[in-house]
Amino acid sequence: MIDDDLWSAIGDPTRRRMLDLLLTDGAGTATSLSQHMPVTRQAVAKHLGVLDRVGLVHAAPAGKERRYRVDEEQLARAAEQLSSVGTAWDARLQRIKRIAEAIQQRTEEN
């Protein structure tokens, strides 16, 4: 089963960059992440909210801010879904290839 909300969140390049930064640094705040992003701190906070809603990150209070960490189980779940989708598409593409080869063979025989 594919979680569309999860993949919608991951589909945004800004959010993927944030996940990369959080995985590299272990944790971060909207302020610390915004220093490495081409968007404002407010935009970073909104993106973090999306990631939090789908469970990819979790926040804990850190003074006046919230410190975010990647939920590795949810990220692993996303990776499993991607692998499953890839396997399904590989099977579809193989079927299309076999059909195309059969059509080509019939054309060459005529």
Instruction: Tell me the pTM.
Output: 0.75
Handedness of CA 30, 22, 34, 14 (dihedral sign): negative
Tens digit of pLDDT per residue, the chain (110 long)? 667 888 889 999 999 999 999 999 999 999 999 999 999 999 999 999 999 999 999 999 999 999 999 999 998 888 888 788 777 788 889 999 999 998 998 888 87
Topology classification of domain 4-109: Arc Repressor Mutant, subunit A (1.10.10)
Output the CA torsion 18→19→21→22 (10° steps).
120
